[in-house]
Structure 1
Amino acid sequence: MRTTARALLPISLFGLTLALAGCSPEAGGDSPASESTPTSETTAPTAEPTQEETAPASSESTADATLIDGSQEVEIESYAGTYLAPTVEGGVALVPDPAANEVPAQWTIGPAEAGGEDFQLTTVALTDGEPMCLTVPADGDPSLATCDADDASQVFSVTTLDRADQVSVSNEAGYLGVDAEGGSLTVSPTGEGVDTTFTLLTS
């Protein structure tokens, strides 16, 4: 009988141990502590793309942007250091000093049509009370004529070059330029063989 009593005591203690283990938090049951304790893992918010990232690249090119928006009074200097100026005979020439020219050497350069991208070069000097316009016909020399925005020989593309004040001037006849040999004003159909760079100087 003593042997049986000794055997039942360890068994009873083992059963009590199992019962207590079943009530402990480690047994996998839900407990208030496990519900209130936040986990260390957090989900980072998804970054929204910025406006710069989502905006498409601009397709607008400024390579052929014209220099002038509206009318502006300028002196037009060639790369050779001479200036485009009207003559008393109604022509145009390159002169070394615009201040010493017989007639004012300044030009007003402005859109041939409101909001347009083509320009007319108009003399500041008046003839019979009216300005004259630079005219470059396809079969003639540069000259002056009564301004007419519908005359293609008076309508020019004025395109910026390496600097904002440096331009080329062209129309259907070709590019206005300076003959490298004679230093005189000329027109080249392709712009080759002449210096077509002009600088617009504002007063």
Structure 2
Amino acid sequence: MRKTSRALLTISLCGVALALAGCSAEPAGDDLASPSASPTSESTAPTSEPTEDAAGGTLLDGSQEVEIESYAGTYLAPTVEGGLALVDDPAANEVPAQWVIGPVEAGGDDFQLTTVALTDGEPSCLTLSDGADPSLAKCDITDASQVFGVTTLDSPEQVSISNEAGVLAVDAESGSLTVHPDGAEVSSTFTLAVS
């Protein structure tokens, strides 16, 4: 009788533990009614969906200042001379190394990458042209070399930045910015971080 009571008590306790585990509250943000949650597994294929920051806003809506880190751990930054470089520490750069990535048209899939740093009181925009190194120029939404697709990769903050000229990347030998014809190289992966 004593063994039976212990066995029943053990089974009862296990049942209570399982019942409590099954009734536990879902973590915040995992509500299946929300558009971001899905009962199915997510694809790892590239997408042009805006990446979300920790506050639930998007890093591509033009409201967030971001730092753009290359796969090599360097950061995309404007220079004092108005050029473009990769730096080891964005906080130590002589001019602000933050960017604003905003849509050319509200709700559109085309973006401009605009510097927070000002030259003559105006921001500059990233420019990729055929046969030229990546550079900065006065912002002009009608200039196709300043209009980009920003494609989400394996994680929401990892992106590929491209336009008709090619894909922004880091040259493996020189460590400088370059343009690749496609985004197959790991050197064309950039990470966005809210600064």
Unaligned residue ranges in structure 1 (runs of 5+): 1-60
CA distance in 2, matches of 1:195, 1:151: 26
8 Å contact from structure 1 (residues 135, 144) kept in 2: yes
Q: State the distance in 2 between where 1:191 and 1:69 align.
A: 19
The code of the aligned residue for 1:70 comes to D
Counterpart residue type for residue 61 of structure 2: G
The structure with higher relative contact order (CA 8 Å, sep 6+) is: 2
- The aligned residue for residue 33 of structure 1 is none
Q: Name the counterpart of 2:179.
A: 187
Contact 1:132/1:145 (8 A) holds in 2:
yes
Assess, with a 3 A threshold, how the Cα gap between structure 1 residues 87 and 117 changes in structure 2: closer, same or farther.
same
Q: Give, in whole Å, the separation in 2 of the partners of 1:181 and 1:194.
A: 14
Shift of 1:192: 4.7
Task: Give the Å deviation of 1:155.
Answer: 0.5
Instruction: Determine which structure has the larger helix proportion and give its number.
Output: 1
Separation in 2, partners of 1:135, 1:69: 17
TM-score by length of 2: 0.69
Q: Deviations over 1:5-46 (max 9, x none)?
A: xxxxxxxxxxxxxxxxxxxxxxxxxxxxxxxxxxxxxxxxxx
Is 1:157 matched with 2:149?
Answer: yes
**Which of the two has higher C-alpha Rg?**
1
Q: Does 1:202 align with 2:182?
A: no
What does 1:52-131 align with in structure 2 at a 5 Å threshold?
Answer: 63-64=46-47, 65-67=49-51, 68-71=59-62, 72-131=64-123
Classify 1:181/1:95 alpha carbon distance in 2 versus 1 (closer, same or farther; 3 Å): same
List gaps (5 residues or longer) in structure 2.
1-42, 52-58
Amino acid in the other structure paired with 1:190: D
